[in-house]
Amino acid sequence: MTAPAPATTLSRVRLAIAAVVGIATLEIVGGVMSGSVALLSDAGHLVTDSATLGLTWYAVSSSRRPAGARHTYGHHRGGIVVAALNGVVLVLIAGAIALGAVTRLQHPVAVAAVPVIVVGMIALFANVAIAVLLKGAGGGLGVRSAALHIAADALTDAAVVVGGLALLAFGWTRADAVVSLLIAALVLIGAVGLVREALHILNEGTPRDLDIETVRARIAALPGIEGVHDLHIWSLDREHRALSAHVTVADRPLGEVTAMIRAVELLLCSDFGIDHATVQPECPSCTDDAPLYCDVSVHHDVVHQGGSGRRAE
């Protein structure tokens, strides 16, 4: 499926920002009128979501800027940084919601059930619509993290409605606080996964769906390729992957070696989604005992002083 154009992504993010601000305003009014900490907690989450969406819009806009002398890969990492910040903010929000909920459990107060149910239902349907809008917006991990925020809000709105119904039907005054604790748990789970993925990309980790040994074997199986070493695979963002590697080839004319490198690049792009590959050919005598993974701490000695590399553990 073809990803939406950046202009489409930006327009959807702008629409989502306006909708989220409107829902947050409604929940603040409803929370004050009803005395519901669950509605106020979700409203605070939505206010943060609107700021998050603003940062996401900025990151998507920045990613459209071309590569240049100062940013030779372009600006794709902006969305990953935003996603990491989103996750950290979500953790803080989860802690604040949980603290408020525990206080309400210890000291329950009267909550008007009907406004909670009505506002919760409106917010639920609106957040589902926004999440669907963002899911098809493209834009990488930054937009996906924003969609995760909204999806979590939809789940918490459903919990708010259930809590309001329990309060209305059974008079359970602690239902609102219990729902708030559930909201905090859901937010925390999503935040931890988001931070882990963003940090993995920022730390130049191998994409989780790729097995580096499989990539090595497929390259080595191509005609004329006798070995692979100094292999690195990383992500610029969730959509763009890069690879660098040294391949061993026999002493051949430059035209034949160029054709081999082209075959490696086509394989990487078509079978592994790696759209930026830098492949350096070397003769067998230049690569004795070369490790598959380059240890940067000894790479200078290997290249400049003729030292022997060692395989990374």
Q: How far apart are the first and last CA of the chain?
A: 39
Q: What is the pLDDT of residue 63?
A: 64
Q: Which residues contact 23 (CB under 8 A, 6 or more apart)?
A: 46, 122, 123, 126, 127
Question: Would strands 241-249 and 225-235 be described as parallel, antiparallel, or unpaired?
Answer: antiparallel
d(C-alpha 141, C-alpha 163), whole Å: 32
For residue 43, the Cα-to-chain-centroid distance in whole angstroms is 23
Structure tokens at 197: 């993925």
Q: Which residues contact 63 (CB under 8 A, 6 or more apart)?
A: 6, 74, 75, 76, 78, 79, 139, 140, 237
Pick from 307, 11, 299: nearest CA to 139 = 11
Q: What is the pLDDT of residue 300?
A: 53
Q: What is the pLDDT of residue 167?
A: 80
Q: What is the pLDDT of residue 265?
A: 94
CATH 3.30.70.1350 residue spans of the chain: 212-304
DSSP string, 261-306: HHHHHHHHHHHH---EEEEEEE-GGG-TT--SS--HHHHHHHHHS-
Q: Assign a CATH topology to domain 212-304.
A: Alpha-Beta Plaits (3.30.70)
Q: What is the pLDDT of residue 82?
A: 76
Q: What is the pLDDT of residue 189?
A: 80
Helix (H) or strand (E) holding 209: none
CATH number of 6-202: 1.20.1510.10
CATH 1.20.1510.10 residue spans of the chain: 6-202
Tens-level pLDDT at each residue, the chain (313 residues): 445 555 677 788 888 888 888 988 888 888 888 887 778 877 877 777 777 777 677 766 766 677 777 776 766 777 778 778 878 887 888 888 788 778 878 877 777 788 888 888 998 898 888 888 877 656 566 677 677 778 777 877 887 888 888 888 887 777 777 877 877 887 788 778 878 888 898 888 898 889 999 999 999 999 999 889 889 999 887 778 899 999 999 888 888 899 999 999 999 999 998 988 999 998 776 655 556 665 655 555 555 555 444 444 4
**141 within 8 A of 237, measured Cβ to Cβ:** yes
Q: Measuring CA to CA, how many Å separate 166 from each of 33, 173, 215?
A: 19, 9, 55
Q: What is the pLDDT of residue 24?
A: 87
| In the chain, beta strands by DSSP E | 225-235, 241-249, 276-282
Helix 37-63 × helix 77-106 angle, to 10°? 170
Q: What is the pLDDT of residue 287?
A: 55
